[in-house]
Amino acid sequence: MASYHLNINNKNYEIEADPSMPLLWAIRDLAGLTGTKFGCGIAQCGACTVHFNGTPVRSCSIPISKAANQTITTIEGLSSDNSHPVQKAWIEEQVPQCGYCQSGQIMAAAALLKKNANPSDSEIDIAMQGLVCRCGTYPRIRKAIKVAAGMMKT
């Protein structure tokens, strides 16, 4: 066991954990932020996507020792009141069906729009590739990303 300083959503957490504990475990079980979901556990599905210094990463496959003293943002940190354009667009377009993968989808979409304010269909497809939705909400995800891009412009 070791002690780690985590900065999640601009809040500091002192966490005692084994160095190899996945960041996702720490986020959900030790910091108590359960918006980020466990999907496959092997970085293949994207449900556990969070921002690591602004970049979308798979938190199930990053040891806590690598996340110490870095800036982590989870779905809870995107906004305090669902006012982030991606969240608003998701609601407007009624994107989720079962919803399990959606916090990962939203985090990936938010990171994409920060880098590319006006992504084309193929740019969206490339950025969102590897974020699996078993309900098949992909067409709505794509549409909502465009709606969010529009909101961000105004």
Partner 1 sequence: MKQKLGILITGILFIVLFGEFTVERTDEFDLEASIKRGKEVYITYCLSCHSEDGQGVEGLYPPVAKSDYLMADTKRSIKQTLFGVTGEMTVNGKVYNMPMDGIDLSDEQTSDVLNYIRNSWGNKGKAVLPEDVKAARNK
Sequence letter at residue 50: V
- Please name the residues in contact with 123: beta carbons below 8 A apart, sequence gap of 6 or more: 112, 116
- Residue 43 as a binder of partner 1 (CB under 8 A): the answer is yes
Q: Which stretch binds partner 1 (CB under 8 A): 8-16, 27-35, 47-55, 143-151?
A: 47-55
Among 15, 47, 57, 148, contact with partner 1 (rule: CB under 8 A): 57
- Residue 55 as a binder of partner 1 (CB under 8 A): the answer is yes
List the one residue out of 66, 32, 73, 31 whose CA is nearest residue 50: 73
CA 152 distance to own-chain centroid: 18
Among 11, 16, 53, 94, contact with partner 1 (rule: CB under 8 A): 53
CB of 43 to partner 1, least distance (A): 7
- Residue 39 as a binder of partner 1 (CB under 8 A): the answer is no
* Beta strands per DSSP E along 9-149: 11-17, 49-52, 55-58, 71-73
Site residues (vs partner 1, CB under 8 A): 42-43, 46, 52-53, 55, 57-58, 62, 66, 70, 126-127, 129-130
